[in-house]
Amino acid sequence: MKDYHITHHAAERYRERRCRHPLYITADLSRARPATKGKLRKARRWPRAGQRLLITPDGFAFVAAGAVIVTCFPLGG
């Protein structure tokens, strides 16, 4: 797993949308893989320039800009 810096915003969103305990974010990040173009089209999401989506097997996405996790959200659909 790459060493990511997790922003305060991302930790807050994780608590709101996924799990009350933020320490599980590292376990989810270790399971997350970069999104393929097909998965991005299916989710109707396209990251901004310089960002990429990391998706867990159960459909939760993290937005990474370099080595920084910016935010996270559940994928609908």
Q: Whose CA is closest to 51, among 30, 31, 65, 40?
A: 65
> Which candidate, 73, 49, 63, places its Cα nearest to that of 4?
63
d(CA 12, CA 35): 23
* pLDDT given at position 7: 93
Q: Looking at residue 1, what is its pLDDT?
A: 57
CA 62 to chain centre: 1
Between the CA of residue 68 and those of 3, 32, 42, 44, what are the distances in Å? 9, 14, 25, 23
Parts of the chain with a pLDDT under 50: none
Q: Per-residue pLDDT tens for 51-72? A: 888 999 998 999 999 899 999 9
So what's the pLDDT on residue 68?
94
